[in-house]
């Protein structure tokens, strides 16, 4: 199906560590997103990007950073992880259908646990 | 697997018209259901949600009722405004499915003055 990949799939780390969650897509999509999702709950937008060298803040952006040096790569970095960061992190990219709708493609997610 | 099907659009309405965007789902259990909205140039935002059958989610004049008997979660608003122009996504999430969020394809709404 969708060619968007996230690594690692699961990560357990200690408080205070710096971590980078990787996201890559091979579809040539310009627009990419990072979302945070607690179990059974809604997505919260963390960051998004319109293309290379574009990064925008979402609702929960204050404790993380992103970069977009290449179209296919959109990594998310937490400078100092805390237990409150324990969650699932979803990366997505999008394209427009021929009917003008934006179609989202999600990666399989990274489940982060901070001890 | 679980999936969501929504009216594809685009939908064009005049201001103050009644809006319905259809959404039906297929699920092996009892998922939570969501409507997300994406305004031009922005990311997705949660519009409303319902976590069990017969729940009604509502926000900003929009409503949707979780109907188990028809496996539907149609979005409605009695009187749309130009500022409602956006893309609307129906979605589901279920704990039995690793909480993977499944989105519909999105429906673009344009409201003309």
pLDDT in tens, B38-94: 787 666 677 998 988 999 999 999 999 999 999 999 999 999 999 999 989 898 877
Chain B residues with CB under 8 Å of A100 CB are 9-10, 108
- Asked if A42 reaches chain B (Cβ–Cβ under 8 Å), the answer is yes
Supply the pLDDT for residue A76.
Answer: 97
For A90, left (φ over 0), alpha (ψ -120 to 50), or beta?
beta
Question: A98: distance to nearest CA of chain B, Å?
Answer: 11
How high does pLDDT run on average in chain A? 86
Supply the pLDDT for residue A101.
Answer: 54
Structure tokens, A51:
């293309």
Q: Which of A42, A57, A102, A103 to mutate to test the interface with B (most CBs of B within 10 A)?
A: A42
pLDDT band at A115 (very low <50, low <70, confident <90, very high): very high
Q: Which residues contact B69 (CB under 8 A, 6 or more apart)?
A: none
- Which chain B residues touch A if contact means CB-CB below 8 Å? 8-10, 32, 34, 36, 38, 43-46, 49, 51, 87, 89, 93-95, 99-101, 103, 105-108
**Residue found under tokens 């409503």:** B63
The model's pLDDT over B85-104, given as tens digits with 9 standing for 90+, comes to 998 989 887 766 545 667 78
Structure tokens, A106:
């999600």
Element (H, E) at A113: strand A110-114
Q: Quick check: A66 pLDDT over 90? A: yes
Helices (H) and strands (E) in chain A, counts: 0, 11
**Contact between A40 and B99 using a beta-carbon 8 Å cutoff:** yes
**Contact between B8 and A99 using a beta-carbon 8 Å cutoff:** yes
Structure tokens, B50:
């319902």
Are B84 and B17 a contacting pair, CB within 8 Å? no
For A16, left (φ over 0), alpha (ψ -120 to 50), or beta?
left
Are B105 and B44 a contacting pair, CB within 8 Å? no
């Amino acid at each position: 199906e969708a060619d968007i990949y996230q690594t690692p799939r699961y990560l357990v780390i200690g408080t205070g560590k710096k971590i980078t969650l990787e996201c890559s897509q091979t579809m040539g999509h310009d627009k990419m997103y990072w979302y945070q999702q607690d179990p059974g709950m809604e997505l919260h937008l963390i960051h998004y990007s319109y293309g290379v060298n574009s990064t925008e803040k979402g609702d929960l952006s204050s404790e993380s950073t992103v970069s977009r040096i290449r179209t296919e790569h959109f990594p998310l970095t937490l400078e100092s992880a805390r237990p409150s960061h324990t969650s699932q992190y979803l990366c997505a990219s999008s394209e427009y259908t021929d009917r003008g709708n934006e179609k989202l493609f999600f990666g399989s997610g990274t489940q982060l646990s901070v001890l | 697997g679980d999936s969501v099907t929504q009216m594809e659009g685009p939908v064009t309405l005049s201001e103050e018209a009644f809006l319905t965007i259809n959404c039906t789902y297929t699920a092996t259990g009892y998922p939570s259901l969501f409507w997300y909205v994406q305004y031009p140039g922005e990311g997705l935002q949660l519009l409303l949600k319902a976590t069990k059958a017969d729940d009604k989610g509502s926000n900003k004049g929009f409503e949707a009722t979780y109907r188990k008997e028809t496996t539907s979660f149609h979005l409605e608003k009695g009187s749309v405004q130009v500022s409602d122009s956006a893309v609307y996504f129906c979605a589901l999430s279920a704990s039995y499915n690793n909480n993977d969020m499944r989105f519909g394809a999105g429906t673009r709404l344009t409201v003309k003055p």
